[in-house]
Each structure stands twice: as C-alpha cells, then as structure tokens.
C-alpha cells in the first residue's frame, strides 16, 4: 500500500510567492500532492492572474503533482444569521471552485463556519442556514464535478466538531460532499483515532501535524502527543491511502514528518 503525501502552501516562507515556492519544493522533494492555501496574497480567489494559474497547472502536470485547494476560511461563515455574510461566504467558495476547475483540482477543502451568539442560542436554525448554504455550494460544485471537503475543527466557536460534520453529511447525503480530517484539530478536544473512526466513511483527505493534547500547534509528527502509529493503522485498515497533507510551521517539518510516517507504515505492514 502506497500513501500519497502532500504539502500545504501555508508552509511557505515568502507569502507573496507561496504557491510557486511550495510547488517547486514539492517537485524537488517528490511530493505527490500540493494543497494551495487560497488566502495568501498571490492566490486569492477572484484575483489570481491567468499567468500564475497556467504556470502552476503546467508545472504540476509536468511533474505529476496533483493540485488541490484549501478555500479561504477566515470570515467565512455558511451558518451565519447575517444574510450578507452567508452570501459572501458562498460566493468565495464558488470562486475557489472556479480556480479548482482551471487547475483540474479534484478537491476543495473548506470550513463550515463559526457559532456566535445567535447560533449559540438557536443552533437548529443555524444548521438550517448551513444546510441551505451548502446545497447552493454543492449545486455549483456539481457543474464541475468537484468534491468539497468540510474540515473538522476544534476551536470553541467553530462549527466542525465530528458530530457537526456527521449531522451535515447525513442531512445532505451528496457524493460530492466529503470530509478533510485534520489531526491536530481532532486532538484539540478528543482522541484523533476515535474521531477518525467516527468519520472514516466520509474522509478523503487528511491534514497532518502534531501537537500536545488540547492545543492546536503545527508541529512535526513525533513532536506532539498524537498517536500516529494508531492513526496510520486505522487508515490502512480502512484502505485509505491519502492524500496526507503536511500543514506545518515549516517545510523541514514536513520532510521529517513524511520520513517518520513512512517508517511507521513500513513497521505496520511488515
């Protein structure tokens, strides 16, 4: 079983050139996938130059690197009680899908949103808004056949706890709606293995980083407290081979993490 390993452009040093810097790094170090974080100044949906898009597309094709996108998420709230905020959030996701289509990217990862005061008091109503927004986003996704993957989130105000994701997945039941499983976010207030097993039927993408329990740091695998051996075994048992995207504070940490995970996989399979 061969895992697909990828790197996020959030690891870039120079944010004004984050996408090309990461793609070049992925090429040099033979990563299978690059996940472009669409909130760096060079890669904001609706503003990316055709020249950069063509360059990224060509370089990825030439080197057999799969491109996938992570939609902007700060200020995105698909469950907002404020209609203007909801419409803007939907529009930003649509623009991200337009970029994905240009880059032949099969997956767009996104966050569902945040739960502030009205949502905290009227949670069911917030979920109605959320489902309605997602149906609009999925209509758009179906034009391009792009999978949108909601990410689990562990922050106090985040909508994205495993139970939230399952509630949404069950309410919508659309084959284009999947889950990106983030190891550190799962570790913020629970056991990542337990959470993965809850969500495994929907997971198509994984964000990898390590952290002490309860914190959301972006450490290399082994620097925190996550049981990666158990997690990789759960992936293998579920015949899930990635992509595993390294979302870390530096590219060196991604290289170390890939080596560690490869060793773990060897050990499990031997």
Partner 1 sequence: MEIGLSSILCLAYRSVQEYIDFLSKQHVSYIDFFIIPPYIDFNNLEPITNLIKKRLGDNIKITVKAPSFVENLTSILDKVQNLTFKEYMDTLDLAKRVGAKAVIIKPGMMFYTEKKCKNYIMEKFLEYLYTLAEIAEKSGIYLLLENYYYPYEILRGPRDFCEVYNLIKNYEHLGFALNIPHLLESKGSVNLLIRKCEREVLERIKLVYLGLRPSPWENTKYIQSIAHVLKEAKKLFRIISPEFVVIASVSEPIVRIFLDGVRDIR
Q: Which residues bind partner 1 (CB under 8 A)?
A: 10, 15-16, 39-41, 44, 46-47, 72, 74-77, 80-85, 88, 91-92, 114, 116-118, 120-122, 125
CA atoms within 13 A on the CB side of 178: 21
To the nearest whole angstrom, how small is the minimum distance from the Cβ of residue 39 to partner 1? 5
If the CB atoms of residues 6 and 45 are measured against partner 1, the closer one turns out to be: 45
Say how many C-beta atoms besides its own lie within 10 A of residue 101's C-beta.
Answer: 15
Q: Give the phi and the psi of residue 220 in degrees, each rounded to 5.
A: -70, 155
If the CB atoms of residues 62 and 83 are measured against partner 1, the closer one turns out to be: 83
Strands 113-114 and 158-159: antiparallel
If the CB atoms of residues 134 and 147 are measured against partner 1, the closer one turns out to be: 134
To the nearest whole angstrom, how small is the minimum distance from the Cβ of residue 227 to partner 1? 27
Q: Is 210 helix (H, G, I), strand (E, B) or coil?
A: strand
Tokens of 76: 């995105």
To the nearest whole angstrom, how small is the minimum distance from the Cβ of residue 154 to partner 1? 15
If the CB atoms of residues 91 and 229 are measured against partner 1, the closer one turns out to be: 91
If the CB atoms of residues 109 and 235 are measured against partner 1, the closer one turns out to be: 109
If the CB atoms of residues 46 and 214 are measured against partner 1, the closer one turns out to be: 46
* Residue 97 Cα distances to 46, 234, 258, angstroms: 10, 31, 28
Is 227 in contact with 264 (CB distance < 8 Å)? no
Is 67 in contact with 34 (CB distance < 8 Å)? yes
To the nearest whole angstrom, how small is the minimum distance from the Cβ of residue 110 to partner 1? 14
Please report how the helices 251-269 and 228-237 are oriented relative to each other, as an axis angle in degrees rounded to 10.
60
Is 70 in contact with 103 (CB distance < 8 Å)? no
If the CB atoms of residues 147 and 188 are measured against partner 1, the closer one turns out to be: 188
To the nearest whole angstrom, how small is the minimum distance from the Cβ of residue 122 to partner 1? 7
Exposed/middle/buried for residue 16 (C-beta within 10 Å: 0-12, 13-18, 19+):
exposed
To the nearest whole angstrom, how small is the minimum distance from the Cβ of residue 100 to partner 1? 17
To the nearest whole angstrom, how small is the minimum distance from the Cβ of residue 8 to partner 1? 12
Is 140 in contact with 97 (CB distance < 8 Å)? yes
Say how many C-beta atoms besides its own lie within 10 A of residue 227's C-beta.
Answer: 14
Q: For residue 25, what are the contacts with CB-CB under 8 A and spacing of at least 6?
A: 7, 31, 251
């Amino acid at each position: 079983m061969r895992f697909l390993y990828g790197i996020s452009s959030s690891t870039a040093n120079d944010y004004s050139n984050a996408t090309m810097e990461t793609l070049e790094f992925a090429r040099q170090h033979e990563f299978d996938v690059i996940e472009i974080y669409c909130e760096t100044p060079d890669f904001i949906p609706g503003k990316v130059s055709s020249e950069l898009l063509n360059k990224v597309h060509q370089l990825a094709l030439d080197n057999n690197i799969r491109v996938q996108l992570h939609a902007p998420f700060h200020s995105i709230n698909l469950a907002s009680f404020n209609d203007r905020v909801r419409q803007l959030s939907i529009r930003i996701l649509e623009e991200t899908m337009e970029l994905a289509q240009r880059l032949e990217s099969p997956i767009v990862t996104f966050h569902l949103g945040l739960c502030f005061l009205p949502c905290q008091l009227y949670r069911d109503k917030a979920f109605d808004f959320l489902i309605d927004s997602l149906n609009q986003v999925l209509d758009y996704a179906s034009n391009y056949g792009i999978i949108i993957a909601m990410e689990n989130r562990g922050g106090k105000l985040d909508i994205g706890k495993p139970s939230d994701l399952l509630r949404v997945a069950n309410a919508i039941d659309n084959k284009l709606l999947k889950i990106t499983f983030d190891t550190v976010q799962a570790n913020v207030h629970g056991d990542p293995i337990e959470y993965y097993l809850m969500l495994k039927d929907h997971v198509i993408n994984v964000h990898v980083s390590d952290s002490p329990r309860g914190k959301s740091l972006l450490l290399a695998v082994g620097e925190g407290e996550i049981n990666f051996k158990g997690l990789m075994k759960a992936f293998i048992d579920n015949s899930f081979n990635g992509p595993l995207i390294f979302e870390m504070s530096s590219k060196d940490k991604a290289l170390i993490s890939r080596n560690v995970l490869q060793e773990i996989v060897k050990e499990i399979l031997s």
